[in-house]
Every structure is written in C-alpha cells, then in structure tokens.
C-alpha cells in the first residue's frame, strides 16, 4: 500500500514539474534571444554629404534686398510736357523750339512740331536713327551747318508770305538769310523746312501777318 502511494506521488510530481520546466526553458530562450539582439552591433546609416550650398527658390527674395529707387519722370514725358506749354500761335516761340530740337537731333520733338507731311518723316528718323535713308542728308549740308552754328541768344526776325506762311530768320550771310519756314495748320504754327532766300528779298516781306 505504501509502495503504491509513493509511486502515485512520483507520477503527480512529474506532471507538475514537466510543464514548469518547459516554461523555464521558454523564458530562458527568450532572454537569450533578447540579449543577443541587444549585443548585436547596429548598422550605421549611410553618410550623406551636405550640399555645398542651398539654392534659393525662383520666387525667394533675399531679406536684405535694397529698396527700389523712387520713380523718376521719363525724358519723353518731360519733352511732351514742355511742348504742351509752348504757345503754338507765336511764330518766334515755335521757331525757337524747332531749332533746339533740330540742333539736338531730337526728331521726336521735331515731329510733334511739324506739319502733317513732315511728322511721319521725323518720327521715322527718331525710331531708326542713322539707319534711315534721309538721316545723313538731314544731319549734314548747309541746313545742318546753319542750325549747328545758331545760338539761342541771336535775335529772330519774322516775316510773312501770306496769312498761313511765316519765315523766321535765325542767321544770315551778306547775301542770304537762313530762315525757318512755318505753316499755319489747325490754328497753330508748324515746322515745314529751312530755306535760304536772298537777304534783300526776305527783308522786303511784310512784318505783319495779313
């Protein structure tokens, strides 16, 4: 009877010890794997060289950009403004403006002062300059020499060839006068040409407009 009891106790102890031993082995294997994982050297990430410089985006603007300069009045507007103030009913004033523009080769202003037929010519000269076929003839010869030698301090003498044509002398030699020819168009004097009539003939023209 005692022998059976002892045998039965051994069987029970075996059933109890077996699972516990299995659990201990399982826990031991997990701890071993964890330790191996911790001791395993980590793979270093590949090194990436930093760029030499970081380019700005197309729309990016440096913060230290200097302020824009104030808007200035363009020369074209100044010229047009001065012509607007000109008394186009005064032959001397128009002649003075024409001579200044011609002498400075300001063909844009000279176009605005001219008759309709000459406006296109001087506008083209202003646009194309020396490439225009008439540039050389207009900026050379006796007309150009007379205008180039003219000074603003010299007096202007006005004579009339009818109610719509004025001849304004700005220079002269012993035998001839250098005159700016003006035409009355749309209630204002307009530049037509530069002539060189006989001085005596010019002096004989009427001083007053008919």
Residue at 22 is within a domain: no
Look at residue 4 and tell me if it is in a domain: no
Instruction: Name the 3-class secondary structure at 140.
Output: coil
Q: Is residue 139 part of a domain?
A: yes
Q: Is residue 11 part of a domain?
A: no
CA distance 164 to 185: 8
Residues whose CB is less than 8 angstroms from the CB of residue 152 and which lie 6 or more positions away in sequence, other chains included: 96, 100
What is the Cα 173 distance to its own chain's centre? 48
Q: Is residue 168 part of a domain?
A: yes
Residue 136 forms part of a structural domain: yes
Residues of the chain with pLDDT under 50: 10-13, 15-17, 20-21, 24, 27, 47-80
Token duo for residue 145: 């020499």
Both tokens of 58, joined, read 């197309």
pTM here? 0.61
Report if residue 91 sits inside a domain.
Answer: yes
What is the rounded CA–CA span in Å between residue 194 and residue 172? Answer: 12
| Closest-CA residue to 107 (of 98, 95, 117) | 98
Q: Which domain holds residue 167?
A: 86-203
- DSSP letters of 34-93? HHHHHHSPPPPPPP-PPPS--PPPTT---TTPPPPPPP---HHHHHHHHHHTS-TT-HHH
CB 134 within 8 A of CB 123: no
Residue at 151 is within a domain: yes
pLDDT at 60: 41
CATH classification at residue 97: 3.10.450
The total domain count for the chain is 1
Q: What is the dihedral of CA 74, 76, 79, 82, to 10 degrees?
A: -70
């Amino acid at each position: 009877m005692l022998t059976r009891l002892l045998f039965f106790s051994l069987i029970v102890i075996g059933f109890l010890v077996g699972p516990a031993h299995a659990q201990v082995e399982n826990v031991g294997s997990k701890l071993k794997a964890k330790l191996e994982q911790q001791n395993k050297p980590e793979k270093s990430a590949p090194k990436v060289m930093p760029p030499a410089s970081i380019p700005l985006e197309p729309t990016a603007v440096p913060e230290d950009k200097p302020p824009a300069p104030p808007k200035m009045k363009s020369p074209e507007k100044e010229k047009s403004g001065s012509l607007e103030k000109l008394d186009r009913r005064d032959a001397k004033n128009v002649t003075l403006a024409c001579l200044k523009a011609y002498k400075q080769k300001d063909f844009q202003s000279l176009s605005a002062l001219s008759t309709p037929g000459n406006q296109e010519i001087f506008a083209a000269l202003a646009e194309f300059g020396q490439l225009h076929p008439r540039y050389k003839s207009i900026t050379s010869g006796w007309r150009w020499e007379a205008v180039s030698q003219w000074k603003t301090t010299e007096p202007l003498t006005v004579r009339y060839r009818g109610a719509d044509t004025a001849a304004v002398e700005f220079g002269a030699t012993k035998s001839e006068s250098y005159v700016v020819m003006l035409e009355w168009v749309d209630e204002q004097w307009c530049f037509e040409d530069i002539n060189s009539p006989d001085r005596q003939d010019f002096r004989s023209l009427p001083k007053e407009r008919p």
